[in-house]
Structure 1
Amino acid sequence: MTIEARIRELGNRHRQLDEIIQREFGRPAVDELQVRELKRRKLRLKEEITSLEARAG
């Protein structure tokens, strides 16, 4: 897989997590632990995307 394809894949997963987080906030009883873990995963994806983008130039 090329770096660009990996970046696109990670970007899609990042957006999916964002949508899940937004849906969670729309619920009457927000699961704070769930949201915290989702945000942590989203941040890790963003860091990996940034790293790959730096390598791709």
Structure 2
Amino acid sequence: MWALRERLGLTQEEFARRYRFPLSSVQEWEQGFKRPAPGTMTPLLAISRKPKALAGALS
């Protein structure tokens, strides 16, 4: 998660806001406290492949 967010040049807050994840979830994923739920993996994979397209679709 951290590597993806860093590759996109986003802070945790920006990533959470842009892709509509709770900030606390992004923080917990990056700190290793929790893993993304199975239903969250599909959007994360889409973000990793086409971040601009998905961000545009969510705005």
Q: Which is greater in Rg?
A: 1
Tell me which of the two structures has the higher relative contact order, counting C-alpha pairs closer than 8 angstroms and 6 or more residues apart. 1
TM-score by length of 2: 0.30
**Structure with more of its chain in helix, by fraction:** 1
TM-score by length of 1: 0.30
